[in-house]
Chain A
Amino acid sequence: SYELTQSLSVSVSPGQTASITCSGDKLGNKYASWYQQRPGQSPVLVIYQDTKRPSGIPERFSGSNSGNTATLTISGTQAMDEADYYCLAWDSSTWVFGGGTKLTVL
């Protein structure tokens, strides 16, 4: 079965750039989406179709996807961005989530 791999945690200082990666076989040939989940809350879509931002998501969130790796980039990270982030892709009629990355804003 298809697997998506994320690093367990990423730390960043306020105002700096955070990069969260998601790896899977030929992931660049699929659409990746990204979800932010704060403690006790439902996930929120922040990036879809690799690079697009839903209405209401700040411009500091951006995405890319090529080869085997999709990347979520948060520019000018703020304390409110501290959360778990999950990638998601579709493969062989099923949906697969990555294991999640905890972003800590120090």
Chain B
Amino acid sequence: QVQLVQSGAEVKKPGASVKVSCKASGYTFTRNVIHWVRQAPGQRLEWVGWINAGNGNTKYSQRFQGRVTITRDTSASTASMELNSLRSEDTAVFYCATDTSGSDAFDIWGQGTMVTVSS
């Protein structure tokens, strides 16, 4: 079945970087975009950015522009998100998501990756 499986939890110090991966299976990876979404504890969902898995084009939220880089490895059907200059407010669950059916929505989500930023 279609699924996105994310890498495990991370603990980082302020100022460090973190890279979270998202492995896709059950569909043709290069046909879709992969989105990244952040959710701080008890807070709303927040769109971080996306990558076109076919051509590698990216688009980032202005809020994260300059601190985030989204890449993909087509041979491994995996997308990754790297966030730099971490601060305490980046403590959050990061989700990857995709639209597998042309629904203009996020129909498949990963299980989430907890990133904790603490000194």
Contact = CB atoms under 8 A, between A and B. Distances in A.
Contact of A42 (B35, B47, B95): B95
A9 B104 CA distance: 26
B107 A45 contact: yes
A99 B106 contact: no
Interface in A23-51: 31, 33, 35, 37, 42-45, 48-49
Nearest to B107: A45
Interface residues of A, number: 24
Nearest to A1: B62
A77 B53 CA distance: 39
Contacts of B37: 97
Contacts of B111: 42
Interface of A: 1, 31, 33, 35, 37, 42-45, 48-49, 52, 54, 86, 88, 90, 93-100
21 contacts: A31-B105, A33-B103, A42-B110, A42-B111, A42-B112, A43-B45, A43-B97, A48-B103, A48-B105, A54-B103, A88-B45, A88-B106, A90-B104, A94-B47, A94-B59, A94-B62, A95-B47, A96-B47, A97-B45, A97-B47, A98-B44
